[in-house]
Homo-oligomer: A and B are copies of this chain.
Amino acid sequence: MQGIFSDRISDVPRSFIREILKVAIDPTIISFAGGLPNRDLFPVEEIKKAAIRVLEEDGKRALQYGNSEGLFELRKYISERYMKKQHLEIPVENILITNGSQQALDLLAKVILNEGDSVVVEEPGYLGALQTFSVYRARLIPVPVDEEGMDVGALKTTLLNEKIKLIYTVPNFQNPSGITYSDRNREEIAHLLRGKATILVEDNPYGELRFSGENKRSFRAIIPENAVLLGSFSKIVAPGVRLGWIVAPDFLMEKIITAKQAADLHTNCLSQRVVYQYLVDNDVDLHVKKIVEVYGRQRTMMLSSIKAHFPASVKSTEPDGGMFLWVTLPRGMSAMKLFHESIKRKVAFVPGDPFYVNKTDVNTIRLNFSCSDEKTIEIGIRRLADVIKKNLRYL
């Protein structure tokens, strides 16, 4: 069928990770490549109890169509949790429930972006966001991030040079790098945006998974009119329930609701009610604490193994939370080449390439520490160290 596809979809490449992970399905491979939360920590029994309760007490309502904004009680819970955890006052009316925060991003892009509009993304940045913005044919402008946050000088220049509609950030324990923006960095970014018609997205799926350090201020507290928050139950409850949300200023909400209606009418009612019931019937903070303890121990083991076994010329971020860390190999060492050799040594990771907009054959890699126990991490890092050392000789 000649010419049947839209221009927008013709441009989007096949998922790099999808392709690369096909190589790594061998179960004898130690995989630091995934981006999944640890399934051993899912509250299966508690979700079962919640499901039984919902279906026994209000089954017909849970199985009927719902409204596009999402379940009121769940939105109220989210609003109250923002207050409790971050002292953020967020009216229920400014929260809409989505199928994971990926959909929140898609709806926002739909509402905001015309073809060719400029969007600032982090370099390196979250793949799923890069893909969504590509579908809307945005012009992606990467701005580097490091352990302080986003490069304010580069951002300032970009904002002077052109109209930026959207800035996409994951300021806490970023995917892929694990870095967190400092309070000062946030203030400086906010200062550049105040009064401008630019939306700043604070995507925060990992925010509650903090192992060390202090919580930082949300952009919503600094520039409420510009900030859009994305949240998710994927990392603190479970991803299979597909529940995320978007927090947007008043002027955006009506259009986001319209976009949600046209996209899929509303989010799964059964899932919303079951997760709400789970949240009110259980001590969620205790559950999050358990996740933080496990991931924190695994992060520590990964960092100490890296220090013990990697050559000193290899650098790593030291995340205070989340699920990933980011390794910079010696200049000239190809992450893709390393990947293929590592697979032979039965250890996998994601080469940095797909996290950049314009760069290929980079020397950075993403390592996930949420899904492997400490012993496995130690073995995997040792194997990876061997491959790196072998490659050092050829530089």
CB closest residue in chain B, given A56: B48
CB closest residue in chain B, given A10: B255
- A182 part of interface (Cβ distance < 8 Å): no
Indicate if the CB atoms of B100 and A264 lie closer than 8 Å.
yes
Q: In the complex the two chains form, what is the Cα distance from A128 to B199 in whole Å?
A: 29
Contact partner, A9, options B64, B165, B258, Cβ 8 Å: B258
Indicate if the CB atoms of A103 and B271 lie closer than 8 Å.
no
- A27 part of interface (Cβ distance < 8 Å): no
A14-42 vs B: 1/0 string, CB under 8 Å? 11001000000000000000001101101
Residues of chain B with a CB closer than 8 A to A14's CB: 254, 258
Residues of chain B with a CB closer than 8 A to A51's CB: 48, 51-52, 55
Indicate if the CB atoms of A64 and B265 lie closer than 8 Å.
no
Residues of chain B with a CB closer than 8 A to A8's CB: 110, 114
For the complex, would chain A's binding face be called helix, strand, loop or mixed by DSSP majority? Answer: helix
Indicate if the CB atoms of A262 and B131 lie closer than 8 Å.
yes
CB closest residue in chain B, given A273: B240
CB closest residue in chain B, given A256: B9
Indicate if the CB atoms of B39 and A99 lie closer than 8 Å.
no
A244-265 vs B: 1/0 string, CB under 8 Å? 0000000110110011011111
Q: How far, in Å, is A47 (CB) from chain B's closest CB?
A: 6
Q: How far, in Å, is A184 (CB) from chain B's closest CB?
A: 26
Residues of chain B with a CB closer than 8 A to A47's CB: 55, 59, 63, 270
Oligomeric state, in copies: 2
- A3 part of interface (Cβ distance < 8 Å): yes
- A238 part of interface (Cβ distance < 8 Å): yes
Q: How far, in Å, is A378 (CB) from chain B's closest CB?
A: 24
- A79 part of interface (Cβ distance < 8 Å): no
Indicate if the CB atoms of A64 and B39 lie closer than 8 Å.
yes
Q: How far, in Å, is A138 (CB) from chain B's closest CB?
A: 10
Q: In the complex the two chains form, what is the Cα distance from A48 to B56 in whole Å?
A: 8
Q: In the complex the two chains form, what is the Cα distance from A117 to B216 in whole Å?
A: 47
If A1-B199, A3-B197, A18-B261 are given as contacts, then 18 extra A-B residue pairs at C-beta distance below 8 Å, sorted by A number, are A2-B197, A6-B114, A6-B136, A14-B254, A36-B64, A37-B64, A39-B60, A48-B56, A51-B55, A62-B240, A63-B239, A64-B238, A65-B234, A103-B263, A240-B269, A241-B268, A242-B269, A268-B268
A sample of 29 inter-chain contacts (CB < 8 A) reads A1-B197, A1-B199, A4-B165, A5-B112, A9-B111, A37-B64, A44-B60, A44-B63, A47-B55, A47-B59, A48-B51, A48-B56, A64-B239, A64-B240, A99-B268, A100-B265, A102-B263, A102-B264, A106-B264, A128-B262, A128-B265, A131-B258, A131-B262, A135-B259, A241-B268, A241-B269, A242-B265, A242-B267, A242-B269
Q: Which 8 A-B pairs have the closest CB atoms?
A: A44-B59, A240-B269, A63-B238, A103-B264, A48-B55, A63-B240, A99-B264, A39-B60
